[in-house]
Structure 1
Amino acid sequence: MDLAAVMTALRESWGPDTCAPEDVAHSTPDNPARGQCATAAVVLHDYFGGCLVRGEVVVDGRQVDFHWWNRLPDGKEIDATIDQFGPHEKIVGGERVERPTGPTRLDAQYALLSSRVSAWLAQSP
């Protein structure tokens, strides 16, 4: 599978209904990546394996959220949603985390994003 094609499919598939609930109000056409990091990272993991990485989002020295991205089997790090952050938000740390195996609060968003990406890739030349 081509990484560029999957990245394009992700970007074309994001919407408020695939966003983390706490970020829906901040997900706009100008910032469609907002709140998509966990689901996007798990979808990328479906296609490329490797591991999931989680860091902290820090504003004015205070942690306000977490941010997820991928480390591919060759060690390359891919962050499909880094553009969501403004200059006042810093990502610190980055530890490997296990893929969730049980129910999570983002199951519906992941299922929807995964199905959209799959459909987009199936229609792509």
Structure 2
Amino acid sequence: MAVLTLTQLEQAVRAGWGVDTCAPEDVPDWHAGNPARGQCGVTALVVHDLLGGDLMCGEVRVDGVRTDHHWWNRLSGGLEVDLTREQFGPEEIVTAGAVVVRPPTINRLLDEYELLRSRVLAVLRDSAPDPGGPV
């Protein structure tokens, strides 16, 4: 089995983002110049599927008022991986995160999650070395 690097995973995730994988409340703010906008929840779930670890959640605050939640991952060795951090403007402050237990079923953003997951897996499958190829 091929080893998956964080760089490969990040490239696959970024290739999978689109307005159709964005959280519905963030669609008005999503654009090609900020493709990470609204992708944190589904991205964190896909990374969790592939690498395990913990799901992390913090609050997004503007002028001290909570406006949203932000999701990312903490791997088993303690490394925090946040592939969508750049979505926020300078006025949006993300608080420290807390570990959140993954629910047994995904009710919110299920279609967006499944679409992103299928795209990421396709990119990873297509970029895997040919096992019968040269050594």
Does residue 1:4 correspond to 2:11, yes or no? Answer: no
TM-score by length of 2: 0.90
CA distance in 2 between counterparts of 1:17 and 1:2 reads 26
CA distance in 2 between counterparts of 1:12 and 1:100 reads 26
SS in 2 for 1:121: helix
Q: Show structure 1 runs of 4+ deviating over 6 A.
A: none
TM-score by length of 1: 0.97
For 1:1-125, what aligned pairs fall within 5 Å after superposition? 1-125=4-128
What is the aligned residue count? 125
Runs (5+) with no aligned partner, structure 1: none
Give the structure with higher Rg (CA): 2
- What RMSD, in angstroms, separates the aligned Cα atoms of the two structures? 0.8
Aligned-pair CA distance for 1:30 = 0.5
Matching residue's letter, 1:94: G
Runs (5+) with no aligned partner, structure 2: 129-135
CA distance in 1 between counterparts of 2:105 and 2:81 reads 24
- Between the aligned residues of both structures, percent identity stands at 51
